[in-house]
Every structure is written in C-alpha cells, then in structure tokens.
Chains A and B, each alone.
Chain A
C-alpha cells in the first residue's frame, strides 16, 4: 500500500477513536428514567447496565442511574438490568418513572460474568462479549452478528470477505461455534454469505480466543458461543427484515402464563435477483448457478414452577446450490450441491438445593452434505437407495450440577456424552504404504473407512472468590474417545486466576491444556498398536482489564500457545545390538506436526448506550508451524498485525452513522518461483526460505453504514445502507501464477459493494 495512503488511513482510524472514547460517557437527551440498583443487602451495584428498548445506560458507583429516553415508553415496556455476578432482572414499567429501586439477586451459576440468559461458563482468561444491539449495527457487516464479531481482537482477517472464523491465526477446524453450549457445523451460508443466525434471535455472543472453560472441549483453538434470545416480552412482538439477498421474520411472545416463545425464519431470494438482473441486462448464462439458502431458530422457555425451567431450542440451516447447463431450457441438466444441518436441544433446569442447580440437556443433530445430478436422483429413487454416506448424525447428552461448596467456592460438575456417526476417517495401517504409480510395487495400500466416534467427557470446575479481589477457577476435563475399538484418554487441566489490583483494574493469568480429535486418525503400526492420537495444545495467557468508567473498558492480553498435531507414523530402523545376527528392526515412531504462536491483543470498547460507541482493537499474532525435521514456516494465516475500529454514532431525527476500518498485514505468500518436474510434465512451486517472510501487500478497508429510524405507534422502521469497502480499495488477496510460477498476477479482494436493507420492528 502507498505509504501516504496508509498513514492517512491510520490517522483516520486513530482520530476516530479518540473523540469516540471521550464522548462515550455522554448520556442521551430526553425525559429520564431514574433510580438505583442494589443487591439484596442494599449495597450499590456499580456498573449495572440498565436497558429500556433501544436506550441503555450504566449505574454509577452509588448504583444510581438516569436513562434518557426519546419518548415515553409504552405500557408494558420492560426494563432490563444486568450486572456481573447477578441474575438479570426484567421488570415491567409501571406508572413510576423516577426513583426506581431495582434489587438484583446473586447469579445462580458461577457468576464470573454477566449472566444474561441460559447457563454461562466461567470466564476464561479472555472473553469478549457483544450484545445484539452492538452486533447488528456494525458497518460493513450488513447487520450480520458473526461478521461483526470477527472485528474483535483475536480474530484473523477472513480473506475475500468470506465467512471464515480464524482465531489467533490457527487452522479453522481448531475453533468452533456453539449455540448455547451445543456445537454446530459451518455457520456461514455457502461459506461466503451471511451467518445462519438471524440478528433478532441473538441475545449475546461470547468469544474465547483461548483458555476456554471446561464445559467446552475437543478444540485446540477458540470458542464462539452464541446465546439465543429467550422470549422475554409480556406481549407478542415481531420484526421483519428485508435486504437485497434475503428476507426474514422474527416473533416472540407469551403462550400462557409460564411459557414464552421466540422464533425466526429467513429465506434468500438471490436466485430471483440473479434472474431479474440477467434479464434486465440481457446477460446470457448468468443464471447457470442458482444459490438458495434459508435458516431458522426457535426457542421455547417454560417455567412450570418456581426453581425449575424447561426450554426447547431448534436451529438449522439449508444451503442449496444448483448448476444449470442451459438455464433457458426447462429440460436442462442440473447438478445440485446441498449442505444442510439441524439441531434440536432440550434443557431441563432444576434447583436441587440452596444455590444448587441440576441441568440436563439432551440434543440431536443431523448434517447432510452431497452433490447429485438429476440422473443420480432418479437412479436413487428407482433403486430405493437411501444411501446415507453423506449424512452425519450426532447425539449429545450434557448433565451439569452447580452449587456452593464453601463460603468462597462454587463448584460445577458436568458430563458430556457424544455419539457421532460417522465421526472420523480411520486410516489403517498408516505406513508403510505404496506410493501409487511409482512402479515396482503395489498392494498394501492403506484402508480408509468412516467410523463412528463416541466421546465421554467428564469435567469439573470450581470458582473461588475472596474479599480481597482474588478469584481462582481451576478446572479439569477428561475426554475418553472411542473409535472402532481404539481408545484414547485426554486429561486436560486448566486454571484461571483473576486479581483486582485497584478499583476497576483486574489482572488475570491463565494456562491450560486442550485436546482435539481431528477428522482423520491413523493407527500407529499395522494394527499392532492401535491408538487414537488427538492433537493437543497448551494455552498460556496474562492480561489486564480496566474499567475506565461506566461505559469504557480497556483490555490487554498477552498469549502464547503451542500445538502438536495428530500423529503420523514414520518408520525408523534400529540395529538390534543384542541379537546374534545384528538384525535391524523396523519400529514405528509417531511424529507430529507442530505449531507455535504468540501475540498481544488490545481492546478499547465503549458501551452501546453512549452516543458514540464502538471499539478500537489491535491484534498481534505470530504463528509458525513445521513438520518433523523441517524448519519453522509462517502459518497460512499468520496475519501478524491487525488494527480494527468500529464506531457508531446517533444523530438527531433518527439518523445513525457507523464506520469500521481494518488495517492488516498481508498473509504469507511464500511461493517464489517454480521448478519443472519432468515426471509430472508440469511446474512445481518453490517456497521461499522462512526468513524471507514473503507476504501479500498490506490490507486496508473502510466500511460505512448509514441508517434512519422512523418511529411509529405500532412499529419502528429502520432503513440502512451498508457500503463495504467504501473507498473501493483494490486489496490483493492472493497471486494467480502463470504455468511456471514466474509471473504473478494479483487476485483482487471485494470491491465497493452496497447492502441495502429495511427492518420493521413491531412493538
């Protein structure tokens, strides 16, 4: 990038951050709701968040708040209060609007963080949480909450604007997305489009870039946990969202006195837009590809009696991509690629003693991925072949018991059972294997089969808190994996320590081990010593959190991780000195790919209640990997430096403006030429030495969002225009090489792209 342009951009980003931080504590104008937030003893709850409709504010050190409103709340409007370590409080507003007294109860769970809904895990060393209103207004995301999340520190930039969740430069499959603790597969439609979650159904997203709590497992990277919104209104409400790609609806409300429902459905019409565009511009063959996606989420919460709760949640996604050979012919050949997944989860929660809760959560899931032609579909129908080779089924049962252990300690004991079929690809024997086509030998090629995976994972976690500001969260998780009769036990201890250093300032330390069974397992040696060998990682972290004021937080985190990949057998030769004949013995030796990474993450964030809100973040992530015997190389997503900023401001007359910017190092691009391989008759790329650190050019992009809200008696209407890459910057996302790797041509990123949408929110 041109140095002058980079400097200008950096100046804009930093310049935008400073006034935003300064003005973050300013409240809203209008007739205020006033009151005080306290606990049961009457002690003030400083920093409690008070929300009414679109407006929110924070209680001061005395627990006092004043919430500015643009107009008088309608009858039935609710006031929501959240604070760390307390249960959320939702009250209906009556006639009184001043001197309200709001009393919070201690959190039932471990209570390390804001307990907004559902069960929330104890805080890891670093957890970034964003709520619905923050997530849906980020410029450049089209209101997509997960895309907004990827602008937080800890995420590496997703190339080509695709929906890839790359955490701290690690491989994508080492991190995962959960919905209220239930793991789900891919979360972006077609890997490129919007995420599968409707913004209205999301209550909050927690992001653990590392050192995640014990209730999550089978990952060596990070965790993203999406909390679905429980129905919370005392009357039915709804919303309709329409944009250029899709339309969706959301509704929530009570069903009887003890049951609330929230449901959302969305369907794309990209196929229709493409058709209309092709007809308008008279472009032939423009509709050879017809993408269709839709998704749904629903949640029912029932409180049969005091101390118990029952909830049912369903989520799912459908991606269908049809390729037409001749779109103008009704009899054209077509090929359809589908990727579907569905999950259903029930949760029963019962208080079993003073402060103790038992939670039982069974869930079922089905993933289907295939690509079939019409002819194959007809053949399958004719033969009644119901082959399910492309289908994966998963059943999970989670049982958790939480409760106080002593005055200082609370405990969590959990058990997660997972049955997944097929779960892994088992290759046996691993080596030696004939390298096909090289002549002279054949046979003994490895067998690869899809096998079922069964996991039993008990975990324990305790949270100790002392009055002098120390909290300690030791935890351990064991994973017993069974694949085709082979087993492995992982035993992963973890600990997090937090210490209040001064009012508002907290120091934190964390370390732990994390295991993950990957998609392919290898038996070590010709069936003689079969073992399941998972990848393992060690995470270390140290950081500071500073609550600068009621609305502004600053966090700084140093992290280090080391990862050892799943084993691959290599044969060694050893001379048996003891044998009379001096015979050599071939012995299998497991060797492992390794990854080492370190970084620093900084976040300055202001609460959405402020007139200007958003965040400024910087991530340093240096990630290197190597195969046994090789030198360390930069990992593909070693982005090294990434500066992001997101700011939103509310203007008079219902206008709002948001801007987001990214300035990031180019990803490694190590190819430096090619060598002609006479055996293949083609060129093979050559990698530059690691010390050369060849990279793509620096990446920079600014996005802009303008929205206008029209307030009505029945509904509020929000129209928005989101301009992605408003400067139409031509970023290089990769190189397209000629046949001999001599002349690279840049592959450009996303040009300026508008997203236009309309939301109608019924009150």
Chain B
C-alpha cells in the first residue's frame, strides 16, 4: 500500500481516538529505586591508532588502536527515597555500542568486558573503565561502521535487589581517534576538541524566590508548604556552540573548525513535591531564548526524610553532570 499520508492518518487517528498519554506516573517524581544519571569523566576518550588505509576518499579509515586508552571515571546517581533501602548487587559490563542493541548481552563471551561488581545501597556509584587495546580492536571488528566517527561502547549497569528485582541502565562512551588523515588532495583538518561535561546553570526564583546554582556548595531551597517555586533557568557561562574539524568539500575551501549548535538538556527530579510539565525530561534549553522556565510545587509538609531535588544536565555528545539540592518546608517563608 502507499503509505505517504502517514501523518494525516496519525493525526486523524489521534483525533478520533483522543490519543494522549495520561498514565499516572511521571518520570520527574521519584518514588522508588531509580538511576537518574550516569556521567563519565571524560565523556569522550581519545585513542592512539594507526590507519590501515585503502579506502578511496577516507585514507584515515579504517584504523587499528595501538595503545590502551586513558582510564575513565564513571559516576552513577542511584536514588531510592523509600525508608528501607536494600543492599544491591551492582554489576557493570562494557560491550560494543551504537549497533542497535540497547544493552550488553549477558550470554556473550569474549566480546563483553566485566568492569566492576560490588554491593551497596543507593547513592553515588563510582567505578573506572579502561578496556585494553585488544578489546577495543575486537569491538572495532564487530562494528559495522568500523569505528567511523567514533567507536561506541555501551556501559551496562545492572542492580539486583535481594528479592530478585533488577534495574538496568546504560551509558554510551565514545572512543575517538583524534588524528584524522585527510583524503587525497586535501589539507589536513585540525584535530577534534574533547567534549566536556556541562555544569553551568542557575535556577533563579521569580518574585525574589530562592536561587539555586550548580556551583553552590550546599544547595538548599526553603519554601512554604505547597508553595510554587517558579524559576528562570540561566545558562550564563555555558557555551551554546562547540567546534568540530571541517573537511574541505569545495574547491578553494580551507580546513578548519566549524561551530555547531550545542544541545543541552536539563532533567528535573524530586522525591516529594512535584515539578510541573515544564520540568519534563529532554528539553533542549538552547535556542532562541536564553532562559526557560520551570515550576516546582513544594510538599505540604516536610516528609520524614529529606526532600531532595536532582537536577541533571546533559548534552547530546555524552557530556553529563548533576547536582542535588535539599528542600526545606517552612511555614515562616510564606
């Protein structure tokens, strides 16, 4: 059948079926065990490699990695607001990523790297990743793109509770060959610049409301019970662009850096109270406006434990950072 009017069909279907997602649970409200972020330092890893050559127009590719890459420190934000916090078994694997499979295959042999196993409760899980050059080359062999652009590696985190409940999360790392050999007749472009984790943002409360910055030493927000905290999000200090090397594609064109628009996302989470719909995940906060808004409604009373806000910032190139803030409910602030 011809499927050209798919959009029309979809819209018609939505109109007739009154489609929409009205499920009760929203990602912003953390009620049980969750992984909210996995950040790597550095988010993009440069590797030493030599070109094998032989492909017209791509003389710097394919390549073989000749030395072990630098060690990468990975932090995972694991939270559980429930009072009784079990001890979990953590297991971290690494495997070839970017091939469509959302996680590593526990049954695979020889192509998976066991990064870490440990036990512990919720909190910040820290581990290091350093595959060998041989393992990276094995993944290069598996990669249908042969590492073109970057070699992507999936970190697969599995948490298993004593009752058998499991939670899984993944993080994609990019192993990049920094030196790019030009094609025949081309001048060499400059090397790629490493990506960094985004961390500069400030939440500015409207109407003299509290201000929360990602650089605060001990971020605390004090609000009246059930009060709304409407904030502007300031990204002063964040760079809205990033540079990539540019190949000459036209006669007379010189190699250099090309500036591309950065994608930055802020995800808001709370263990009590509620972020409004502007706090939904995956909002690109760069664009025509410098500030965007979000609103948090405080709980009606302090819970037994602390009320925590988690603010995760990430770009679309693997960069990631988070801050945790406490919320104190105080009638006197009304």
Contact = CB atoms under 8 A, between A and B. Distances in A.
Do A and B share a complex? yes
Interface of A: 160, 162, 164-165, 172-173, 175-177, 185-187, 190-192, 288-289, 291, 319, 321, 323, 337-339, 367, 369, 371, 392, 431-435, 437-444, 526, 528, 570-571, 573, 576, 583-586, 675-682, 684-686, 736-740, 743, 745
A437 B317 contact: yes
10 contacts: A164-B1, A186-B1, A190-B12, A289-B12, A323-B11, A337-B8, A441-B244, A675-B170, A677-B170, A678-B171
A536 to B, nearest CB: 19
A176 B1 CA distance: 5
Nearest to B57: A526
Contacts of B169: 675-678
A296 to B, nearest CB: 18
B316 interface: yes
Q: Which 5 A-B pairs have the closest CB atoms?
A: A191-B9, A439-B317, A678-B38, A185-B2, A440-B176
Interface in B44-68: 44, 52-58, 61-62
Nearest to B183: A444
B150 A440 contact: yes
A434 B9 CA distance: 32
B149 A438 contact: yes
Interface residues of B, number: 76
Contact of A739 (B7, B25, B62, B318): B25
Contacts of A678: 35, 37-39, 76, 169-172, 314, 320
B271 to A, nearest CB: 16
Interface in B1-53: 1-5, 7-9, 11-13, 15-17, 21, 23, 25-27, 34-35, 37-39, 43-44, 52-53
A321 B13 CA distance: 11
Contact of B12 (A192, A442, A583): A192
Contacts of B267: 681
B265 A441 contact: no
Nearest to A569: B144
Contact of A573 (B52, B258, B282): B52
Contacts of B98: 435, 438
B1 A439 contact: no
B26 A739 contact: yes
B201 interface: no
A576 B9 CA distance: 52
A528 B149 contact: no
Contact of B3 (A172, A437, A586): A172
Contact of A339 (B8, B148, B195): B8
Given A321-B11, A678-B169, A743-B23, 20 more contacts: A173-B3, A191-B8, A192-B12, A291-B15, A337-B5, A337-B8, A338-B8, A367-B2, A432-B145, A439-B176, A439-B195, A440-B317, A441-B192, A584-B52, A586-B61, A676-B35, A676-B168, A678-B76, A679-B172, A682-B281
Nearest to A584: B52
B29 to A, nearest CB: 10
A440 B149 contact: yes
A432 B174 CA distance: 17
A745 B23 contact: yes
Contact of A675 (B23, B146, B168): B168
Interface of B: 1-5, 7-9, 11-13, 15-17, 21, 23, 25-27, 34-35, 37-39, 43-44, 52-58, 61-62, 76, 98, 102-103, 141, 144-146, 148-150, 152, 167-172, 174, 176, 180, 192, 195, 244-247, 249, 258, 260, 263, 265, 267, 281-282, 312, 314, 316-318, 320
A338 B263 CA distance: 34
A583 B168 contact: no
B12 A175 contact: no
B56 A528 contact: yes
Contacts of B249: 443
A321 B15 contact: yes
Nearest to A740: B27
Contacts of A681: 37, 265, 267, 281-282, 312, 314
A117 B198 CA distance: 71
Contacts of A584: 52-54, 62
Given A584-B62, A586-B61, A289 B15 contact: yes
Nearest to A683: B27
Nearest to A176: B1
A576 B144 CA distance: 19
A571 B151 CA distance: 14
B317 A438 contact: yes
Q: Tell me which of A164, A438, A440 has the highest count of chain B C-beta atoms within 10 A of its own C-beta.
A: A440
A182 to B, nearest CB: 13
B2 A440 contact: no
Contacts of A191: 5, 8-9, 12-13
Nearest to B55: A586
A443 B61 CA distance: 15
A680 B244 CA distance: 22
B18 to A, nearest CB: 10
Contact of A321 (B12, B39, B54): B12
A192 B148 contact: no
A185 B146 contact: no
B12 A185 contact: no
A736 B4 CA distance: 26
Contact of A439 (B8, B76, B167, B174): B174
Contact of B54 (A339, A432, A576): A576
Contacts of A338: 8
A674 B7 CA distance: 27
A99 B146 CA distance: 82
B41 to A, nearest CB: 14
B333 to A, nearest CB: 31
Contacts of A369: 4-5, 8
A443 B62 contact: no
B52 A321 contact: no
A219 B242 CA distance: 47
A289 B10 CA distance: 13
A338 B11 CA distance: 11
A186 B4 contact: yes
Contacts of A686: 102-103
Given A371-B7, A432-B148, A679-B171, A573 B141 contact: yes
A433 B7 CA distance: 27
B52 A684 contact: no
Contacts of B4: 185-186, 339, 367, 369, 392
Contacts of A162: 9, 13
B54 A585 contact: yes
A440 to B, nearest CB: 4
B2 to A, nearest CB: 4
Contacts of B168: 675-676
Nearest to B6: A191
Given A437-B316, A439-B317, A440-B174, A175 B17 contact: no
Contacts of B52: 573, 583-584
Nearest to A274: B15
Nearest to B37: A678
Contacts of B26: 739
Which of A570, A677, A681, A739: most chain B Cβ within 10 A?
A681
A289 B8 CA distance: 12
Contacts of B148: 431-434, 441, 571
B27 A739 contact: yes
B112 to A, nearest CB: 16
A573 B1 contact: no
B315 to A, nearest CB: 9
A657 B228 CA distance: 62
Contacts of B1: 164-165, 172-173, 175-177, 186-187
A349 to B, nearest CB: 28
Contacts of B62: 571, 573, 584, 586
Nearest to A673: B168
B11 A431 contact: no
A743 B176 contact: no
Contacts of B146: 432, 571, 573, 586
